[in-house]
Amino acid sequence: MTDKALIVEGGAMRGIFAAGVLDAFLEQSHSPYHFVIGVSAGASNLLGYLGNAPGRSYKVIKELATSSQFYNPRRFVSGGHLVDVKWLYEESNKQFPLDKDTVFNSVPFIAAATNVSTGLPDYYEVTRHNIAKALEATASLPLAYKETPCFGGGCYTDGGVADSIPVREAYRRGARDITVILSHPLSYEMPKPKAGWLMKKMFVKHPNVGRALTKRAQNYNESLDFIRNPPLDCIIRVISPPEHFPVKRLTMKKELLDVGYDMGLDEGRKHVHHLKGEHVYQQEECPFC
């Protein structure tokens, strides 16, 4: 039997799209995967999916991530967090508690984070014992989050620095039928940084993180190339926002977040109906489905 994997990209507020896709999966009782991998906001979104909690990720993003307790430029100017990912995780659990048995009795849940010592991605299984630190680590944006989460012998920053779309890791782990939920339209390619030297200078204490940031676009686009040209023994299915997706990384307008969520619901439903033979994609709709 071919192992199936689900990959969920991060992207801060763009994660509202994946929240919609995953809620559509829950609505359709679609859970064929043998393991899942999430990065940053993608890992947070997977909690609601694995916990069979439709609407949870939508509420976390729309009600909590738009709060000044999470995103606060004034606090940042004063030396604090721009985004407080620890608060978001803890407050999410208070307001929208999950059944941990449901989460951890499903399939292996893997998160990606960037090791600050090596600048390379570490992929660790999220467990009952490390979940708080694991979710904090994968989403701890460099500079924007002032703490450096450490656990399991490593210290980490946001997983998107070293591997935003860990599709190659899923393949390395044996998956040959891989579904990827992106946070950008299919046409997107990450531009090269214009001031790589500045990134290195800003990360003097963690030079390998600075190097990873200068290579981030290259790694990201290589993942896209892997998706577009997978090995002959692998099928990769892509669910991505439409070209007119209105949500940006730091969009705080709730009406736009609603639009992004509804787009995710629509694309998630179409994906499941397509797999059931109830919907046929046109080539221009999804060339990688």
**Residues forming the active site:** 40, 158
Distances in Å between the Cα of 204 and the Cα atoms of 60, 217, 220 are: 34, 20, 23
DSSP alpha helix (H) spans, 29-187: 41-50, 56-59, 73-77, 85-95, 100-104, 131-138, 167-172
3-class DSSP state for residue 114? strand
Q: Which residues pair with 158 in a beta bridge?
A: 113
The amino acid at residue 273 is H
- Distance between CA atoms of 56 and 70, rounded to whole angstroms? 17
User: In the numeric block, which tokens belong to residue 115?
Assistant: 């090791």
CB atoms within 10 A of CB 91: 18
Largest CA-CA distance found in the chain, in angstroms, rounded:
55
Taking the mean position of all CA atoms in its chain, how far away is CA 274?
A: 23
Contact between 62 and 16 (Cβ < 8 Å): yes
Between the CA of residue 261 and those of 71, 138, 217, 242, what are the distances in Å?
Answer: 20, 22, 26, 12
**Backbone phi, psi, residue 276, to 5°:** -85, -5
